[in-house]
Structure 1
Amino acid sequence: MPAESSRTRSMIEKRDRILDVALDVLGENPDAGMGDIASAAGVVRRTIYGHFPSRLDLVRTLTERAVADMTAVLTEVNASAAEADAGWAEFVARVWPVTHRYRVLLALRRGEYSEAIHGLLGPVDDLLAGLVKRGQDSDVFAEHLPATILSQLAYNAVFAIADNSLSNGTLSARAATITSLLMLGVPEERALALAGDQP
C-alpha cells in the first residue's frame, strides 16, 4: 500500500511539474507544441501525453487551475464588507504574483481554444462582473458601460500590465491596481490611496 501511495504521489508531482513548465513555455510562446513542453520539462513526449492526451487537455487543465486560484480570491473578496473599489484593489494585490503566469490564457482565449477557455473562465468573469456591478450600484464605479464589459476591460488591463512588467520589469502591482481602478471610474486620489504602498 505505501508503494502505491508513493507512486501516486510521484505521478501527481510529475503532472504538476509539467503544468508549471507548460505555463512558462506557453507564456513565452502561446503556439508552443507538446514537444516544446516535453523538452523544457526534461521528459519525452510520451510522458506528456500520458498525463494529457491532447494539447487541448493540457490547456484546459491549466485554465481550470487558474480559475480555481482566481475564484477562491474573488469569492473571499466578494464576501467581505469592504467597498467594491477596495475589494478590487485586494483582488489585484492577491492575484498579482501569478498574473504573469496566467496571462497566456488571454492569448489562448483568442485562438483555437477560445470556446473551451471562454467556457471555463465563466465563473471568474461572473464574479468580476458581480464585483463591478456592486460598485456601480453603490456609485463607486462608473456606469458608462455594463458591468460585464467594464470588468473585462479592467481585468485585461491588469494582465496587459503583468505582460509588460515581465518583458521589461518597469511596471508593478501598484501600476495595475491604479490603472484598473481608474478604468473602473475611481477618482485618481482614491485609486492612489487604495494602491497604498504596493510595490
Structure 2
Amino acid sequence: MMQIESARARAMNDTRNRILDVALEVLGQNPDAGMGDVASAAGVVRRTVYGHFPTRTDLVRTLARQAIDEIAAVIAEVTASEQAADAMWVDFVARLWPLTHRYRVLVALRRGEYGEEIHALLGPVDLTLADLVQRGQDSGVFGQHLPADILSQLAYGAVFSIADNDLSRGTPGARAATITSLLILGVPQVRADALLDGRP
C-alpha cells in the first residue's frame, strides 16, 4: 500500500514539475497566456493544472519564487568568495546564464498585474546585487557614475535583455552579456576581456 501511495505521490510531483517547466516557456513567450494554454502545452487537461495550482496567481507566484530562489542562491554563492568585485560579477553572470530562461518569466510578469508582488519578492536579490556593486565602487573597480542600486539594476538588466534576444546562441551570448554589463559598471574593455579570458 505504501509503495502505491509513494508511486502516486511521485507521479503527482512529476506532473507538477512538468506543468511548472512548461509554464515557464508559455508565460515567458506570452505573459497573458491562460491556464488552458499551459495545460495544452503540458499535455494535460485544465483540471490537472487547477489541481496543482488553484488559480493562475498561485501558478505565477510559484514560478516567481522558484526563479528568485535559484537566482538568490547563485548570488549568495558568488558573494561569499574572496574575489575582487569585477571577478565576482563575471562569476555571477556565468552561473546565472543557464537560468535566464526562468528570469524571462519574471521580467515579463513584472511589467504586468503581478509587478508589485514580484518586485517585493525580488527585493533581497536587488539589495545583494547593490551591495556587490557598492563593494566594487568602494574598491575602485566599478565606476562612480551612478549610485550602486541603480547601476546594479542597469547592469543585470542588460544581462537579461541580451539573454532574451540571444537565448539559442549559448556561449557567445554569455560573453556579450558579461562584457556589456561590465562596461555599464565602468570596467574598462581591456580589463573586461582579460577577466573573461582568465588573465589576472
Scaled by the length of structure 2, the TM-score of the pair is 0.93
Distance 2:170 2:96 in 1: 17
Question: Residue 179 of structure 1 corresponds to which residue in structure 2?
Answer: 180
- Of 109-118 and 137-146, more deviation after overlay is shown by 137-146
Does structure 2 retain, via aligned residues, the 8 Å contact 1:133–1:147? Answer: yes
Q: CA deviation at 1:91?
A: 0.7
Question: Residue 36 of structure 2 corresponds to which residue in structure 1?
Answer: 35
1:106-140 Cα offsets, whole Å, 9 max, x none, are 12101100011111111211111111111111111
1:32-68 Cα offsets, whole Å, 9 max, x none, are 1111110000111111111111111111111111111
Question: Residue 60 of structure 2 corresponds to which residue in structure 1?
Answer: 59
Distance 2:131 2:109 in 1: 24
The AA in structure 2 aligned to 1:67 is I
Question: Residue 94 of structure 2 corresponds to which residue in structure 1?
Answer: 93
Report 1:1-199 matches (<5 A). 1-166=2-167, 172-196=173-197
The AA in structure 2 aligned to 1:72 is A
Distance 1:4 1:107 in 2: 38
Distance 2:171 2:83 in 1: 30
Distance 1:147 1:100 in 2: 26
Scaled by the length of structure 1, the TM-score of the pair is 0.93
Q: CA deviation at 1:9?
A: 1.5
- Of 163-172 and 104-113, more deviation after overlay is shown by 163-172
The AA in structure 2 aligned to 1:194 is L
Point out 4+ residue stretches in structure 1 off by more than 6 angstroms: 167-170
Give 5+ residue unaligned stretches, structure 2: none
Q: CA deviation at 1:11?
A: 1.3
What's the % identity of the aligned pairs? 70
Q: Structure 1 164/171 Cα, relative in aligned 2: closer, same or farther at 3 Å?
A: farther
Q: CA deviation at 1:169?
A: 7.5
Does structure 2 retain, via aligned residues, the 8 Å contact 1:34–1:48? Answer: yes
Q: CA deviation at 1:101?
A: 3.3
Q: CA deviation at 1:196?
A: 2.1
What's the secondary structure of 2:166's corresponding residue? helix
